[in-house]
Chain A
Amino acid sequence: MGIARTSLKGVTHYVPSKAYKGYTLFTPMFGKDAWLIDMQGRIVHHWSTEPYKPNFARLLTNGNLVYQGVKSGGIMGPGVAYLFGEDYEQSEQDRGVCLIEVDWDNNLVLKYEEPQFNHDFYRMENGNTMLIKYVTVPDDIKSKVKGGIPGTELSGGVMWADALNEVTPEGKVVWEWLSYEHLDPEIDVICPLEYRGEWTHMNGCNVLPDGNVLGSFRQTNTICIIDKATGKITWRWGAEELGHQHEPTMLDNGNILVFDNGAHRFFTQDLDYYSRVLEVNPATNKIEWEYKDDPPSEFYAFGMGGAQRLPNGNTLICETHGGRIFEVTPDCEMVWEYVSPFYGPFLVYGQANLIYRAYRYGHEHEGLIGKNLDPDKFKWLNGIYGPDAT
């Protein structure tokens, strides 16, 4: 069970002897800030992301910060537009979607504009960036797509899917993969409780050491490996196990870590809703590690969320809806927990402290070497949001 829910804020639990020490990076949803906090929950660095509201940011080994710049907030795709009865295409122009890289002092290093850029991106070894973008499904393929709620294509019968683009630092697209060319309408079936405005809703992309891409498709409850050379899907998993999962990553041992939200999970026996974090072996499709709470219902985010395997074998988990970031050992013992004290309006859902994803960077992380990480720089803010806040 979580040590805290909404009544406690900041770091609520910390076992220094077992936690992976470092700094945690997150961007409160619908805010314009990236915060780096220490293990005590003190702010040690801050980037303003004005005028953008990124879902999350990554720290690079050169100390730069990369994020998706979206003026309206990073989840405003066709899915959310559908929820509010809006037309996604019409709202495209003012969304100003781009990839932003800034240095430690927030000087702009790179800006790549792509109106259909969504969800995730990955900085590759060669300096290029892999990113996801929305594309429409051609009519002849669209009619073959199965599942979803009949008749819920968007106005004009539009169905969206996703593409992957590899983009150079100069903004040149050097590789493109169109999901609808490689998905199989017989296998890649939309969840029966989802609309048909999107076939895939790709929400994660991770470039593997061999250059292949690990992707996540929310609509079809599937994670897959895409062969970089041929574009073929060489492995897919999850339709019988996952419920609108997020952020698969490949671990050093070749297994895949994924945040399984649990929403619309294909249960045959019980209806208990809970999230879990899974480590699955893609060679055997066996689940080799699982974290869920006890009771299971105490850990649940129906959307968003993520997990990161840390160098000491622990796992950092971000439970979006409680604004809760926590670290568990391989034995599933919680050794660090933080509840975001940053609140803001979350669409129509009210005031919330949502965090889409979080990342921990160890003290030895290259990007942090030589940086001033003194929490006293933020004495005033830490008096409000830090461990001494009342």
Chain B
Amino acid sequence: MGIARTSLTGVTHYVQSNAYNGYTLFTPLGTRETMLIDMKGRVVHQWKMPYPPALYGVFLESGNLLYGGHVEKGPLADLKGAGGELIEVDWNGNAVWNYQDRYLHHSFCRLFNGNTMVLRWVQVPKDIAAKVKGGIPGTEKEGIMWGDSFQEVNPRGKVVWKWLAYEHLDPEKDIICPLCPRSQWTEANSFAILSNGDILASFARLNTICIISKSTGDIKWRWGSGGELGHQNGATILENGNILLFDNGTHCVHFSEGYSRVLEVNPATNKMVWEYKDDPWMAFYSAYMSSCQRLPNDNTLICEAATGRIFEVMKSGRIVWEFVNPFSASFDPVYGHNRIIPRAYRYSPEHEGLQGKGFRVFSLFPRRSKI
């Protein structure tokens, strides 16, 4: 069971000898502040951003922050995870790079070659949309079904590679969850780049994660729609070639829902090689967003978005660090007075981007309630 739920905030638990020491980066939903906190929950650095997050920002080895902003007046701004502008700022918040596209959403990834892979919504052509199965009949968005596209963008903002999901998905296999609207076929919410350049993508509405060949565009591997996943998030690739992801556990069949888990899957065998669940299972649950990150000491950092809880578990499932977001966001018509943290990332003090940076404790918040 989590050591704290809503009554405690800040760092509620810390086992120094077992935790992976470092700094944790997150942006609470609906705020314009990206925080870097230390293991005691003290804010040691902060970036003021022009937009609230689509979901998150990541820290680069250059020491810059690459951030997906939610542009409130975008054409699809009412869809969950809507973005609009990618912003790169340096340690001091000075603009370094930006890329505007009103259809950006959810996730992005800086590539080794300096380009950036972005995710954007595109309309599914009507003839293909008509063949798509599943979903609640008649719930297209103003008659339109939206799908996903990956685009590789170079530093000058030029699109150098493009992949359209509807060209490669199979309407017979890639079926929308029967309780989801047909406004989106796929709703990609996270992706990762494999060492060979292929893309690991998570399609929430299909309960499917898949590997897309960079060279041919073909879907080489897909998994999850056989009842394994419930609108998963946070797909990441590990050094051993396995996939770590956050299985939210929503819209699952029968009684097998209402709890989340973090899974490590071997794509060669489709076998689950590691799983984290709480005891009892229901005490760890976020119906939406959320992330997971395998740390160099083999621990896993988990972000349970709905409760604003970030925690680190050992392979055994033992919690060795826990933090509950003490910052409440502005009111959201869907999420209420929430303290959602969509995603979180841990960076070691040895991380290249942190070298030579002068940390200071910015504020007394978040207060430590209990350690």
Q: Would A192 and B178 count as touching, CB distance under 8 A?
A: yes
Q: Would A82 and B254 count as touching, CB distance under 8 A?
A: yes
In the assembled complex, the CB of A38 is this many whole angstroms from the nearest CB of chain B, namely: 23
Cα distance A12–B8 in the bound complex, in angstroms: 14
B256 / chain A contacts, CB cutoff of 8 Å: 83
B285 / chain A contacts, CB cutoff of 8 Å: 300
Of the listed stretches A3-11, A14-22, A165-173, A206-214, name the one at the interface; the rest are far from the partner chain. A3-11
| Residue in chain B with minimal CB distance to A80 | B255
Interface string of B8-27 (1 = CB under 8 A from A): 10000000000000000000
Does chain B have a CB within 8 A of A263?
yes
Does chain A have a CB within 8 A of B306?
yes
Does chain A have a CB within 8 A of B179?
yes
Using a CB-CB cutoff of 8 Å, which residues 254-286 of chain A contact chain B?
263-273
A350 / chain B contacts, CB cutoff of 8 Å: 277-281
Interface string of B282-309 (1 = CB under 8 A from A): 1101111000000000000000001100
Does chain B have a CB within 8 A of A79?
yes
Does chain B have a CB within 8 A of A187?
no
Residue A303 contacts which of B1, B180, B255, B279 (CB distance < 8 angstroms)?
B255
A270-B179 contact given A350-B278, A351-B280, A352-B282, CB 8 Å threshold: no
Cα distance A251–B159 in the bound complex, in angstroms: 63
Q: Would A271 and B250 count as touching, CB distance under 8 A?
A: yes
Does chain A have a CB within 8 A of B136?
yes
| Number of chain B residues whose Cβ lies closer than 8 Å to a Cβ of chain A | 46
B252 / chain A contacts, CB cutoff of 8 Å: 193
Of the listed stretches B34-42, B64-72, B149-157, B333-341, name the one at the interface; the rest are far from the partner chain. B333-341
Using a CB-CB cutoff of 8 Å, which residues 115-169 of chain B contact chain A?
136, 139
Using a CB-CB cutoff of 8 Å, which residues 226-266 of chain B contact chain A?
231, 250-259
Of the listed stretches A56-64, A125-133, A290-298, name the one at the interface; the rest are far from the partner chain. A290-298
B282 / chain A contacts, CB cutoff of 8 Å: 302, 321, 349, 352
Does chain A have a CB within 8 A of B4?
yes
Q: Would A272 and B7 count as touching, CB distance under 8 A?
A: no
A83-B254 contact given A7-B4, A272-B335, CB 8 Å threshold: yes
A303-B139 contact given A4-B6, A272-B288, CB 8 Å threshold: no
Q: How many A-B residue pairs have CB under 8 A?
A: 121
Q: Would B179 and A264 count as touching, CB distance under 8 A?
A: yes
Q: Would B254 and A321 count as touching, CB distance under 8 A?
A: no
Cα distance A301–B282 in the bound complex, in angstroms: 9
Q: Would A6 and B250 count as touching, CB distance under 8 A?
A: no
Cα distance A295–B1 in the bound complex, in angstroms: 21
A7-B8 contact given A272-B287, A296-B335, CB 8 Å threshold: yes
Does chain A have a CB within 8 A of B371?
no
Q: Would B258 and A302 count as touching, CB distance under 8 A?
A: yes
Q: Would A303 and B258 count as touching, CB distance under 8 A?
A: yes
Using a CB-CB cutoff of 8 Å, which residues 299-356 of chain A contact chain B?
300-303, 321, 346, 349-352
Q: Would A266 and B279 count as touching, CB distance under 8 A?
A: no
In the assembled complex, the CB of B148 is this many whole angstroms from the nearest CB of chain A, namely: 17
B32 / chain A contacts, CB cutoff of 8 Å: none
Does chain B have a CB within 8 A of A195?
yes
Does chain A have a CB within 8 A of B315?
no
Q: Would A193 and B287 count as touching, CB distance under 8 A?
A: no
B8 / chain A contacts, CB cutoff of 8 Å: 7
By a beta-carbon cutoff of 8 Å, the part of chain A in contact with chain B is: 1-8, 12, 79-80, 82-83, 149, 192-195, 263-273, 293-298, 300-303, 321, 346, 349-352
By a beta-carbon cutoff of 8 Å, the part of chain B in contact with chain A is: 1-8, 80, 136, 139, 178-181, 231, 250-259, 277-283, 285-288, 306-307, 334-340
- 5 further A-B contacts with Cβ under 8 Å, apart from A266-B179, A273-B250, are A195-B253, A268-B181, A270-B334, A297-B307, A300-B258
Q: Return 14 A-B CB contacts under 8 Å, by A number.
A: A2-B5, A5-B7, A6-B1, A7-B7, A7-B8, A193-B252, A195-B253, A266-B136, A268-B136, A271-B250, A271-B288, A272-B287, A295-B339, A300-B285
The 3 A-B pairs of least Cβ separation, nearest first, read: A5-B5, A302-B258, A350-B279
